[in-house]
Chains A and B, each alone.
Chain A
Amino acid sequence: MSGLPSRPLQWRPLAPFLLATGAALSLVAVITRNPTPLFLALPLLLAPVAAGIVGPRRSPPVRIDLAIEGAAADVQVRGAVVPEPGLDARDLVVELERPASLVGESVPRFDYSSSQIRFRANWTAPEPTITEIPVPEVLWRDPMGIVEREAISSTSPVVVSRYPPELLRIGAVRLERTTPLPGETRSRRVGESGEFHGIRPARPEDPPRQINWRATARTGRPLANEYDLDKTGDLLILLDARPTPLGPALDERLFSVARAAAVGLSDSFLRVKSRVGVGVFGEFLDVVPLSTGRTQRIRIETALKQAHLSPVSAPAERCAVSARRHFPPGLTTVVFSSLSDDSSEDLSPYLRRRGFPAVVLSPSPLPLIAAASRLTGEDEELARRIARLVRRDRIARAWQEAPTIDWDDFWSLGKFVEFVRRPRIRRA
């Protein structure tokens, strides 16, 4: 941490106030030839200087531990700020910013001691989200609040992914293979079945049949077998990031929901050693090529975290052509699209023509529109029915080209999981 640049001392608004009052009192003392105001002025003039001298002379290094707990909509942020020895933690001020996609208490709860500050914040994700919890800003501030200096730490932000829990189980689905014969291509990962790969120290979760008892007896410590896994299949996740007539605010929320679900989907399939690729189609197609493993998970998470809506729309054919250039045909493709206008419906036919069997998962804008509606009573009910009819018509038209799932309860993907688990319906 010593390599990080030191931040300068900052005067807080109280400092000029004290100095100005002290200077004014000194002037009055000279004009009236009365030393009494000078005695009041002295502490006011010297306190800012003393605070600067007594405090740390460079940015104090601090260690920030940040952890995310909770499940589904519940996001609990726990952390601790530990300054270097010699600095009282009670002189530190911690400011934790709540990301815009989360709701809840704006000020975390702090627990101070002389050696560390513990903090906790309970937030809620109203919709599935992937967002970054920034590192708390830590300032050293003198007890009087006259001067402050930013502390330095090397902690990185933490990413929160919240998506429907059904996605955790979806990885068990057998995907369409894009390799000639199953088992021909070995996964980069190792696991519990397949060709023998090697021996490693046993872990508590290893089943008894995976323990290599002979090797364990020879070495006197528990050892387990490891096997090369066969690749199970490939998956392409495609997000439609083009603008729609719904407007930027609604588009952004729907896109945020789609990004979170895409992270969940890729996580689940990567866990079972499948290869997963991601494409985000705005004006052009940005891709994360097919791969597997933990690095691919980080790659996808980073790409989706940074993905944003395109201000310009582009023809759907461009997406299909680009996809064909980056991915082999025959990939099981999950398309996230709100299907809010005619152009977004074009995506799956073009993909199908280029050889990608697509399933469309469409986050519905209706719950978001209903929540923001100003209508009441019968008007509201009528508007809701009309919107539902329009939506149903769009889904029906989309079904003609590809299986389409209307996703209106953002915390549940039961319908989607059920669909991809039934191969008969999929083939139909």
Chain B
Amino acid sequence: MSGVSVRIRSIRPVSLALLLVSATYLGLLSGFPDGYGPVLAAAAVIFATGLRVGTRRKVAVYAPVPVLAALAVEVVPAPVGLGTELVAGLAGLAFLLWLADDPSRPVGGSLRSLPTVGVPALAVGIAWSSTLFLPAGAVPLGVAGALLALTLAVVALLVASPTMFDREEA
């Protein structure tokens, strides 16, 4: 079996399809000029997949960059709407699953990453349901802003000292 066919076979179709569909749909909803949103999203995902299955490992580590850039470019001009927000959240989760399906690592990465992806999925679910059920107004916006600031502070604290994750043996 040639090297190219081995690398092509290492592509994990499920997570790739999830990312492709969610990113393309986000591009469709985003209102990107001249309807280029889906094209941009699909091109970025395919390009990133090509980088990952390429021969050079040093280049492969940059594969997440085009996907994330495309998602960010699409989500910024996206109109406010429950559907758009849900698709944006799902695209973020699909991106994480796609990351876990690294062709250079053993198969089943997306399945093994489900406990990790479950945490942000829960957060996206709570955020989306709160936008669905809570009334709009200045107070909920303030509460949401404060929670976001708190989350960022906690994340910054954890990133600054990874040893906080350590647990001493009993």
- A: residues with CB less than 8 A from B are 2, 6, 8-11, 13-19, 21, 23-26, 28, 30, 32, 34-55, 57-58, 88, 90-91, 93, 112, 142-147
Q: Quick check: B108 and A90 within 8 Å, CB to CB?
A: yes
Q: Quick check: A43 and B131 within 8 Å, CB to CB?
A: no
Q: Quick check: A15 and B159 within 8 Å, CB to CB?
A: yes
Q: Quick check: A142 and B76 within 8 Å, CB to CB?
A: no
14 intermolecular pairs with C-beta atoms under 8 Å apart: A11-B159, A17-B65, A18-B68, A21-B72, A25-B76, A35-B80, A36-B85, A36-B88, A37-B78, A44-B92, A49-B154, A90-B105, A144-B100, A146-B99
Instruction: For residue A232, give the distance in angstroms from its CB to the closest CB of chain B.
Output: 54
User: Which residues of chain A are within 8 angstroms of B92 by Cβ–Cβ distance?
Assistant: 39-44
User: Which residues of chain B are within 8 angstroms of A34 by Cβ–Cβ distance?
Assistant: 76, 78-80
8 Å CB contact of B89 from A17, A40, A47, A112:
A40
Q: Quick check: A17 and B166 within 8 Å, CB to CB?
A: no
Closest residue of chain B to A92 (Cβ to Cβ) is B106
Within 8 A of A (CB), among B38-69: 61, 64-65, 68
Q: Quick check: A40 and B72 within 8 Å, CB to CB?
A: yes
B148 part of interface (Cβ distance < 8 Å)? yes
Q: Quick check: B75 and A37 within 8 Å, CB to CB?
A: yes
Closest residue of chain A to B80 (Cβ to Cβ) is A34
User: Which residues of chain B are within 8 angstroms of A24 by Cβ–Cβ distance?
Assistant: 72
User: Which residues of chain A are within 8 angstroms of B124 by Cβ–Cβ distance?
Assistant: 39, 42-43
The CA-CA distance from A427 to B3 in the complex, in Å, is 62
User: Which residues of chain A are within 8 angstroms of B168 by Cβ–Cβ distance?
Assistant: 58
- Given A8-B166, A13-B61, A42-B120, check contact A144 B78 (CB 8 Å): no
Q: Quick check: A36 and B151 within 8 Å, CB to CB?
A: no
User: Which residues of chain B are within 8 angstroms of A37 by Cβ–Cβ distance?
Assistant: 72, 75-76, 78, 88
Instruction: For residue A376, give the distance in angstroms from its CB to the closest CB of chain B.
Output: 33
Q: Is the interface of B mostly helix, strand, loop or mixed?
A: helix
- B: residues with CB less than 8 A from A are 61, 64-65, 68, 71-72, 75-76, 78-81, 84-86, 88-89, 91-93, 95-96, 99-100, 102, 105-106, 108-110, 112-113, 115-121, 123-124, 127-128, 131, 145, 148, 151-152, 154-155, 158-159, 162-163, 165-169
Closest residue of chain A to B86 (Cβ to Cβ) is A39
Residue among B64, B96, B152 with max Cβ neighbours from chain A (10 Å): B96
Q: Quick check: A26 and B84 within 8 Å, CB to CB?
A: no
Residue among A36, A49, A112 with max Cβ neighbours from chain B (10 Å): A36
Instruction: For residue A32, give the distance in angstroms from its CB to the closest CB of chain B.
Output: 7
- Given A11-B159, A16-B159, A43-B124, check contact A143 B112 (CB 8 Å): yes
Closest residue of chain A to B141 (Cβ to Cβ) is A33
Q: Quick check: A9 and B116 within 8 Å, CB to CB?
A: no
Q: Quick check: B88 and A39 within 8 Å, CB to CB?
A: yes
- Given A48-B155, A50-B120, check contact A145 B75 (CB 8 Å): no
- Given A9-B165, A17-B64, check contact A50 B119 (CB 8 Å): yes
Q: Known A-B contacts: A34-B78, A40-B71. Give 20 more (CB < 8 A).
A: A8-B166, A18-B68, A23-B152, A26-B152, A36-B80, A37-B75, A37-B88, A39-B127, A43-B93, A43-B120, A45-B120, A46-B123, A47-B116, A47-B120, A49-B158, A54-B119, A57-B167, A58-B167, A90-B106, A143-B116
The CA-CA distance from A53 to B162 in the complex, in Å, is 10
8 Å CB contact of B116 from A13, A28, A144:
A144
Q: Quick check: B95 and A43 within 8 Å, CB to CB?
A: yes
Q: Quick check: A42 and B89 within 8 Å, CB to CB?
A: yes
Instruction: For residue A17, give the distance in angstroms from its CB to the closest CB of chain B.
Output: 7
- Given A36-B78, A39-B128, A45-B152, check contact A57 B145 (CB 8 Å): no
A-B CB proximity, top 5 nearest = A57-B167, A43-B92, A50-B119, A43-B120, A39-B89
8 Å CB contact of A11 from B113, B127, B162:
B162
8 Å CB contact of B166 from A57, A91, A144:
A57
